[in-house]
Amino acid sequence: AQKVTQAQTEISVVEKEDVTLDCVYETRDTTYYLFWYKQPPSGELVFLIRRNSFDEQNEISGRYSWNFQKSTSSFNFTITASQVVDSAVYFCALKEGSTNAGKSTFGDGTTLTVKP
């Protein structure tokens, strides 16, 4: 069975600080996909990144970066120089299999508050 653990329920930082959101996953599949989503108060899920199980290369997109380590089953997300607009709930998700029929399992989410 799949499981995604986001141990940090809430994080509060001051603007311009760096912050890392942790994500640890469990799966028996050898092929899987990991995602991060941002959910602002409006509720819509905003897609941030997708990473497949065969690609451990870390990725940077502007102030966002992701560290994928299969050895520790972790897919952590770092926001550099945080801004108030980054305040939201962030979800890590795991999608099984190599077909589009694989369902996604979400972590419980981390509520990030960035204070001015």
Could you say whether residue 47 binds other proteins (CB under 8 A)?
yes
**Paired strand residues for 66:** 59, 77
Helix, strand, coil percentages for the chain (3-state, nearest 5): 5, 55, 40
CB-nearer residue toward other proteins: 78 or 97: 97
Q: Which is nearer to other proteins, 27 or 109 (CB)?
A: 109
Phi-psi category of residue 35: left, alpha or beta, with phi > 0 → left and psi -120 to 50 → alpha:
beta
Choosing from 15, 29, 73, 106, the residue that interacts with other proteins (CB under 8 A) is 106
Q: In the range 10-39, which residues lie near other proteins by CB under 8 A?
A: 33, 35, 37
**Exposed (0-12), middle (13-18) or buried (19+): which is 9, by Cβ within 10 Å?**
exposed
Binding test (CB under 8 A) with other proteins, winner from 95, 96, 112, 114: 95
Considering the rule CB under 8 A, would residue 54 count as an interface residue with other proteins? no
* The only residue of 7, 20, 40, 52 in contact with other proteins, by rule CB under 8 A: 52
